[in-house]
Structure 1
Amino acid sequence: MELIDQVSINALSKKDLLLILKALEYTHENTGLEDFIDLRNSIVKEICFLTETAEIDFINYLESNN
């Protein structure tokens, strides 16, 4: 189980990360379950904090060249 602590998003491409975020948004919109949008927002918030990037800049970066 110690390997789970080392899981990261380093291996995810921009396209894959954007797809995950969009899937969470879509699922929230179609189910009304807040857990999905909360998870999406949590992921974005954490990545923006770690990269010192504004959310809009991060999303624009992911959407560029896709």
Structure 2
Amino acid sequence: MELIDQISINALSKRDLLLIIKALEYTNENTKLNEFIDLRNSIIKELCFLTNTTEDVFVNYLESNN
């Protein structure tokens, strides 16, 4: 398990990332557990930082052609 110190998103498709984000939103809405939306927001924040974009631009990019 020591090999999983950092997770890479290189192997995830655009569709996979969108599904993860939408699943976290859906789960938060239906369970009211903030941990899910906090994780979603953390993932989005990091991806926006890495791509130098805003959340709206990044999510719109993921949603395009899906």
Q: What TM-score results when the alignment is normalised by the length of structure 2?
A: 0.94
Give the paired residue count: 66
Q: Runs of 4 or more off by more than 6 Å in structure 1?
A: none
Alignment correspondent of 1:24? 24
Q: CA RMSD in A?
A: 0.9
Mark the runs of 5 or more structure 1 residues left unpaired by the alignment. none
Residue identity (%): 79
Q: Unmatched 5+ residue regions in structure 2?
A: none
- Cα distance in 1 between the residues matched to 2:7 and 2:17: 15
Write the distance in 2 (CA, Å) between the matches of 1:31 and 1:7.
Answer: 26
Tell me the distance in 2 between the aligned counterparts of 1:20 and 1:41.
12
Relative distance call for 1:37 and 1:6 in structure 2 (3 A) is closer
Return the TM-score normalized by structure 1. 0.94
